[in-house]
Structure formats: C-alpha cells, structure tokens
Amino acid sequence: MLSIQKLKPIRKLPKTGDIFCYKTSDGLFRFGKVVKDDAVVGPFRNSLLIYLYSTPSKNKDLIPPLSKKELLFAPIFVDASMWRKGFFQQVKNEPLAQKEVFLKHCFQHRLSKKFFDEYSKELPRRIEPVGDFALHFDQSMCNQILSALNRT
C-alpha cells in the first residue's frame, strides 16, 4: 500500500502557475499545478485550486506532460498545509496555458447538493468534472491522493 513521503517543508505561499511534486513510497514523483491562488470556498478566502495528475516520473525534474486528461481526480481546493508540512514541493512556476485549464470549474456542496464555481458563486447546473465544494487540509488531502492512487 502506498504512502506519501515528506519532502522539504516550505513557508513560501504557493501561487498560480506553480508546478509542484509529491513523492510516494514506491519512489515515484507525481505532479500538480496551482490553477488559482484566490479561490473562495465558503468563508475561506485565498484558497488554492489545484489539479493533480496521475502520470509518474522517477525524477522530480523530469516533469511529464501535464494534461487535463491525466487528472488523478477532479480539481480540488486546498490550503497551504501540504507545502508547509513538506508533502508538496514546488518545482517551478510557469504561466498557465488556456488549454491546460478548464473554462469552468464546478464543485458540489455535500449537504445542499448545489453546484458552485471556484469563487463560491452558485451555478445553475452541473459541469464536468465535478469536485467537492470543501477546503481540504493535509490529512484529508493525503487520504484522497492515496485512495485514488490505490484504485489505479
């Protein structure tokens, strides 16, 4: 069973365009991208909207193509705890290309079942892919990543 290994903790806040990695116990690196650093999840302002990709690499400096088709799961909201605790590590920053980002993001509230965008504005309908309208902290984020990786 996989686990996520800690890398070097950082204090610098992640920003839009950051490409980051995390390392799993199989020795492989996987990558993610900060798509928004100003997302709003209910009362939580300046949340991070990230994409996590399934394609692994043996070296954190050899980043595979990061395509929306290779998402590990739907876009997700996180805080900076994954970086502060060393689970995520920035690799580089590059401008986001329009083709790399969904035109619309959609998240479903667990209780009300309503749909919202990344700024907590209610949407009239579901738009795929649908993420969870919740802010994920380090432990829930690790659990979600490992659950997805163990399914593949």
Which pLDDT score is estimated for 2?
Answer: 86
Cβ-in-10-Å burial (0-12, 13-18, 19+) of 57 comes to middle
φ and ψ at 143, to 5 degrees?
Answer: -60, -45
- pTM of structure: 0.95
pLDDT digits (tens, 9 = 90+) for 47-57: 999 999 999 99
pLDDT digits (tens, 9 = 90+) for 3-17: 999 999 998 999 999
For the chain, what percent of residues have pLDDT higher than 90? Answer: 95
C-alpha to C-alpha distance for 122 and 114, rounded to whole angstroms:
7
Range of the domain at 99: 4-151
* CA nearest neighbour of 131 among 8, 10, 56, 48: 48
113: left (phi over 0), alpha (psi -120 to 50) or beta: left
C-alpha to C-alpha distance for 22 and 43, rounded to whole angstroms:
28
Which pLDDT score is estimated for 92?
Answer: 97
User: What is the secondary structure of 81-145 as a DSSP string?
Assistant: HHHHTTSSEEEEE-PPPGGGS-SS-EEE-TTT--EE-TTSPEESS--SSEEESSEE-HHHHHHHH
Which pLDDT score is estimated for 143?
Answer: 94
The count of domains in the chain is 1
Average pLDDT over residues 123-148: 96
Average pLDDT over residues 129-140: 96
Average pLDDT over residues 57-74: 96
Q: What rounded mean pLDDT belongs to the chain? A: 95
- Hunting for tokens 């990558």 — which residue is that? 31
- Whether 152 shows a pLDDT value over 80: the answer reads no
How far is Cα of residue 114 from the mean position of the Cα atoms in its chain?
Answer: 21
Which residues have C-beta within 8 Å of that of residue 140, sequence separation ≥ 6? none
For the chain, what percent of residues have pLDDT higher than 70? Answer: 99
Greatest CA separation for the chain: 43
